[in-house]
Amino acid sequence: MKSIIRYIASIWFWFEFFTISAILFPISLIIFLVTAPFDKRLFILHKYTCIWSNIVLTINPLWRIRVIGRNKIDPKKVYVMVSNHQSGADIIVLFLLWHHFKWVAKKSLFAFPFIGWNMWLNHYISVERGKGSSMRKMMSDAGRTLKAGNSIMIFPEGTRSKNGEIQPFKSGAFHLALDNKVPILPIVISGTSKAIRKGGFLINKNHDIHASVLDPIPYESFRNMDPKEITILVERLIKEGMK
């Protein structure tokens, strides 16, 4: 009986997710066409995307979500924002930070109906994993994006964890912070790996999800460090935050 209820709940989640996205995407397109000429950072469109995610999560009765430490984010500052990556749910949860940023995400997501199309409208940054030329272009695009006054959001693990355990961090995000002299904002996600497994369809209901913002790391504190040292430091902080 429990498995049947879980199956029905999962069908409901995906139905409402895609239905809401289909309804809200045309509004994204209108906002883009109206505001892009004067809103070069697409600040308004990103805020609308945060509202979109909030609607999806509010209507979904299966998860209890709590964002902790949002007050640590200075809305006037530009950050390299980094988080561990447990499942696809991380993306919609992190929009609840309500801070302006541009995602760095794998290229295939941009072709996803409604959600991916909205990512393209927002000028989020695509990358093809394992392709050197794409990685170099991503770093260049991300650098220009930071200089234009936008924070960047990156999963340093590069892909979702299979078991919820943090995988080794890659150093690209920390090269960006060092090269562009911007602070790093570490974020800890917990609970999403159990809410929905990597590559899975079934949703676990009544599950607690937390997004915890750690203390920002000012540029002055790592300006003389090697990117690999910064990578180790931030990975350790996020692992401690998980505990």
User: Which portions of the chain are predicted below pLDDT 70?
Assistant: 1-3, 5-6, 161, 163-164, 197-207
Task: Please tell me the predicted confidence (pLDDT) of residue 199.
Answer: 56
Task: Please tell me the predicted confidence (pLDDT) of residue 24.
Answer: 96
What are the structural domains, with CATH classification, of the chain? Answer: 2-242 (3.40.1130)
How do residues 83-129 score in pLDDT, each as one tens digit?
999 888 899 999 999 999 999 998 888 998 999 999 999 999 998 87
The predicted model scores a pTM of 0.90
Task: Please tell me the predicted confidence (pLDDT) of residue 200.
Answer: 58
**CA angle 156-98-45, nearest 5°?**
95
Instruction: Name 188's Cβ contacts closer than 8 Å, sequence gap at least 6.
Output: 83, 84, 210, 211, 212, 214, 238, 241, 242
Instruction: For residue 1, give both structure tokens.
Output: 């009986």
Task: Please tell me the predicted confidence (pLDDT) of residue 56.
Answer: 87
DSSP H helices, the chain, are: 2-35, 43-59, 89-94, 115-121, 132-147, 172-180, 192-195, 219-222, 227-242
Task: Please tell me the predicted confidence (pLDDT) of residue 193.
Answer: 78
Task: Please tell me the predicted confidence (pLDDT) of residue 204.
Answer: 64
Phi, psi (deg, nearest 5) at residue 223: -60, -30
Task: Please tell me the predicted confidence (pLDDT) of residue 205.
Answer: 61
Strand order in the sheet with 207-213: 63-68, 207-213, 184-190, 80-83, 151-154, 101-106, 125-127
